Structure 1
Amino acid sequence: MYKLFLSLLLLALSPLVLAEVRYISDEFRVPLRKSPCSRCAILHQGLKTGLKLNFIESAEGWSHIRTPGGMDGWIENQYIVKKPIARDRIARYQQQSEALSASNAKLKAQVADLKTNNQQLDGRLNAVSDDNEAVSRELADIKVVSANALKLKVQNQKLLEDNGMLQSKIDVLSALNKQLESSHTQKWFIYGAISVFLGALLSVLLPRLKRKRRGHSEWA
């Protein structure tokens, strides 16, 4: 039952699927008839010129067609053509020409925009190139400065080491100087004590010597 229904449906739709296209020829109002004969009942008083039709079959100078509204009927073959009529083709060509002209103008505008963008990109590229060169120069300068800084660091380290050695020598010399000063002070202290002792001794002995001299003088 399902296969039978499907077959009938395909049979009913086959004219729609396989239908060719026909057009009403120039400057006519063509009647659409129920059957393929000039005396058969008219379904439509006059299809307008250029109307697009679906062609189903042909029989004895007549064509079985279907209108865009879904009406089936017959029209004499002499009133239909396979291509759109000249007027419609010209109108269509004119529309296509206008569309192409508009598209061409749009493309020209896009090309102009692309040229402008390209010029801007060239300018940016040149600016970036200049910046790159400047950065390269700065990097070279930084490398030179870094090398000089490294040399200065090494020199500074050496100076610090030399300064440490000199400071050590100064400390040693200072210690020796203090020892010498202490020894010198001790010597002068000893010399002073001796001088005081000698002075005291002389102060005691001299009066006695004077008395002895006087005694000798009197005895004489």
Structure 2
Amino acid sequence: MKKLFILLTTLVVLSFSAFAEQQAFITDQLEVTMRTGQSSQHKIKRMLKSGKPVKVIEQNKETGYSKVRLNNGSVGWVLTRQLVYKPVASLQLKSTLNNLSIIKTENKKIKEELSLLKGEAGNTANENKTLSAETEKLSHELDSIRATAASAIQVAQEKELLQERVVNLEREMQTITRENQALQDSSAQDWFLIGGGVLFGGMLLGLLIPKISWRKKSSWDSF
């Protein structure tokens, strides 16, 4: 009998030592008692609210109790049937509400970013419109500059032609001046010759007239 008791005790100890810790939650009830031992006769250590997370470190199928450890390190016994291994509805609802709040916050943030992007897009459109107007203005100015440049080239060409005509006219004037000078020189020579001829004729007459007068006088004296 003693050997049988030792064997059963050993099996129970081995079953406890082989149990791995599991995450569990207090069932969806108002409150659950955590006791110092594995019966309702043991002292209540504290009351656990629904959804409170605990670590299951031992289970006793015979007594129906599980040994749990709280996050603050406190250890006690609760009924195994009062444990669940997934979040209870209240926790799921809380998690869902938290997720919904996060989603709403992110949605609001996305809307703000979208509004900001729309504003930036509007600014970009205005900037593009301004750039288009400036581009058109610069295009007109470029056309004006090209027209002015073309006019300047035409003026330069006309100036070059005028300069060429001036040079030709100066050459013609020089030619005419030389011809006039030559004519003046020729006229002076002619007048010099005429003057010389007149002078020579006068001198000749001056010599002839006295002789003619003397002859007439001699002829008159003979009568």
TM-score range, shorter chain: 0.5 to 0.7
2:132 corresponds to: 129
C-alpha contact (below 8 Å) 1:30/1:79 kept by paired residues:
no
C-alpha contact (below 8 Å) 2:33/2:44 kept by paired residues:
no
C-alpha contact (below 8 Å) 1:63/1:76 kept by paired residues:
yes
Alpha carbons of 1:189 and 1:66: their partners in 2 closer, same or farther (altered >3 Å)? farther
Q: Aligned with 1:68: secondary structure?
A: coil
1:12 corresponds to: none
1:24 corresponds to: 26
Match for 2:122 among 119, 123, 138?
A: 119
Matched, 1:99 2:102: yes
User: Taking structure 2 as the reference length, what is the TM-score of the superposition?
Assistant: 0.66
2:5 corresponds to: none
Count of aligned positions:
201
CA offsets, 1:55-77, max 9 Å, x none? 55655244454432345665432
Matched, 1:109 2:133: no
* Structure 1: distance between partners of 2:188 and 2:42: 159
Shift of 1:29: 4.7
Written as runs of structure 1 = structure 2, the 5 A alignment for 1:207-218 is 207-218=210-221
1:165 corresponds to: 168
Where do 4+ consecutive residues of structure 1 move more than 6 Å? 39-43
* Structure 1: distance between partners of 2:178 and 2:41: 147
Identity of aligned residues (%): 23
Alpha carbons of 1:196 and 1:58: their partners in 2 closer, same or farther (altered >3 Å)? farther
Q: Aligned with 2:31: secondary structure?
A: coil
* Structure 1: distance between partners of 2:93 and 2:137: 64
1:191 corresponds to: 194
CA offsets, 1:121-167, max 9 Å, x none? 22332332233333334434444444444344334333433433333
Alpha carbons of 1:151 and 1:56: their partners in 2 closer, same or farther (altered >3 Å)? farther
* Structure 2: distance between partners of 1:90 and 1:101: 16
Q: Aligned with 1:45: secondary structure?
A: strand
1:52 corresponds to: 53
Stretch moving more, 177-186 or 80-89: 80-89
CA offsets, 1:21-73, max 9 Å, x none? 3223342254265x7x3389889534444333345565524445443234566
Q: What one-letter code is carried by the residue in structure 2 that aligns with 1:112?
A: S
